[in-house]
Amino acid sequence: MKELNPTDPIGQNIIKAISNVCFSVFVFSVLIFTVIAITYQPPDPWESSRALTKIFTDYENATFKTDSSVFKTGEDIAASPLATPAGSLPPITESTIKQSEDQITTNSTLKSGCEDSSTLNCSDPRVLIAIQRFNLKTYKAIAFLDYQTPVNGSKPDECDVAWRFRNKKEKSWRKYRDFRRFRIGINDDDCSYKVVRPGRWHSGVNARRPRTQVISDGKDRTAKIAPPVKDDEIYDTIPVLGSDSAFRQGRYESLYMEFLCALGEARYLNRTFVMDLSVCLASTYTQSNKDEEGKDFRYYFDFEHLKEASPIVEEGEFMRDWKKWEKTRKTKVPLRKVASYKVTPMQLRRDKSTIIWRQFDAPEPENYWYRVCEGPAGKYIERPWESLWKSKRLMNIVSEISGSMDWDFDAVHVVRGEKANNKMLWPNLDADTSPDSLVNKLQGTIAPWRNLYVATNEPFYNYFDKLRSNYKVHLLDDYKYLWGNTSEWYNETTALNGGRPVEFDGYMRVEVDTEVLYRSKTRVETFYNLTTDCKDGINTC
């Protein structure tokens, strides 16, 4: 056979043909990739003005899972603990306790030889040092930030003390409170103070802040009034724009919530975010089993942190200032209304209008804000998940539940509900999460008589009774008093809601369950430990 020579006409033609085929394949591949990139619609958890309704019902998203009873936000998905803000107190350590101890003068309330040991002075700084040292050794999951001076308890050898703390597993900088009663004794060798026995969570009632007062209404009944002091770590008031000139000098982007995409665009455009705090809760999470409008964003999320993460103004406040400007000034505020998502953030980057108002009047799916953030804009717009934290009011409940178990508990996450009833997609889930099966599987993982918190969407409280033969079982409904009509949560949410009580709804239950679950020492998951079924249905593992 004759050897091909590149200089021969036949050889040249074959090489050209191969080159053309390869180039055509390359061009075709690029074309397919481009089409996919342009047309792909990523799921968006804030899909329309009915933000929470769509989060719960329509979209699959790693942060807002609707059927797994686990709810993550920005502080949960951070890779490492957030840096402590400037001005915040560092955690108390053995080194700082030793420094305080060294500063105490020799003129103490206890004389040499322990002659005066029969009288306990709770304000003696050495009492606080003994309590600090005990807490540091006993509650290792807690970062203690500051203490109040101990006060007398109910007995001569008891002292009550309050402190602020953070949980080390929580990646936010938020602080919480506890107050406990300690029985104090004396060491025989050096007459120093020691903790004989600690009290339970919130047992030191003499050191607590002022709480709800009860007064008579004159009809043999009692009426409750809100506590005179609220949680001083919550600053979620609506920011006020201020003077007319300040309003005019600002640059705003108005919206009807497609939240994270819109917030990402506002950041990209270096504009203040105009936010509607009213959201809609899906029927899955309401007692009425109907979608409910008018839920306050602050019931569920940390508005204070959101304000610090991005320039925010509440929509009602913004509209009032805008109308005031229009009435008192001859000149109108420069406004650009954007009617289509096809106008990209990049095209708006140089727009000088004071207000950019996106309006979505087209039929579905062109009336969704997430369309703004897809395609080429996705290279420029980042959804700021780190801005979204859970409500501090709900996190206070999380701390109270965890503290009631002395921060020493294990947890099991039991997913049932609709998944357990759907045998086509989850054929084994119902049997694998039955009471008998749970007892058998947990015995090999969790030691007997441990505190066991059960995070679940199972509606029947007594479903887990068989576990009580082996564990100290705790369920969310065991702590109803934390959101009952005498609770701090009740008073503060009622105040937010214009004096009307707020339902502790299913969405709040999922948020609290999730955070207690994360604070456990051993965590057993449904789809990784209890059942062989796949989390998203058959053949999806």
pLDDT (tens digit per residue) in 208-243: 876 544 333 444 434 444 444 455 556 555 555 444
DSSP string of 392-418, one letter each residue: HHHHHHHHHHHHHTTT--EEEEE--HH
Helices (H), 243-294: 244-249, 259-268
| Average pLDDT per consecutive 10 residues, the chain (541 residues; last block may be shorter) | 49 62 56 42 32 35 41 66 62 90 64 59 93 94 93 94 90 87 90 91 88 43 44 56 46 55 90 87 86 90 88 87 85 88 91 87 70 87 87 94 94 94 95 96 94 95 96 97 94 92 94 93 94 90 84
pLDDT at residue 236, rounded to an integer: 58
Instruction: Work out the burial of residue 170: count CB atoms within 10 Å of its CB; fewer than 13 is exposed, 13-18 middle, 19 or more buried.
Output: buried
Contacts of 363 (CB under 8 A, 6+ apart): none
Strand ordering across the sheet containing 451-456: 472-475, 451-456, 410-414, 523-524
**In whole angstroms, what is the distance from residue 397 CA to residue 411 CA?**
17
SS3 state of residue 420: helix
**In whole angstroms, what is the distance from residue 486 CA to residue 477 CA?**
16
pLDDT at residue 178, rounded to an integer: 92
**In whole angstroms, what is the distance from residue 391 CA to residue 422 CA?**
33
CATH class for the domain made up of 392-530 = alpha beta
pTM: 0.74
Q: What angle do CA 102, 103, 109 make, to 5 degrees?
A: 95
Q: What are the residue ranges spanned by the domains of the chain? A: 9-40, 51-72+235-387, 94-213, 392-530
pLDDT at residue 118, rounded to an integer: 63
Instruction: Work out the burial of residue 39: count CB atoms within 10 Å of its CB; fewer than 13 is exposed, 13-18 middle, 19 or more buried.
Output: exposed
pLDDT at residue 86, rounded to an integer: 56
Helix 392-404 / helix 506-518 crossing angle, nearest 10 deg: 50
pLDDT at residue 199, rounded to an integer: 93
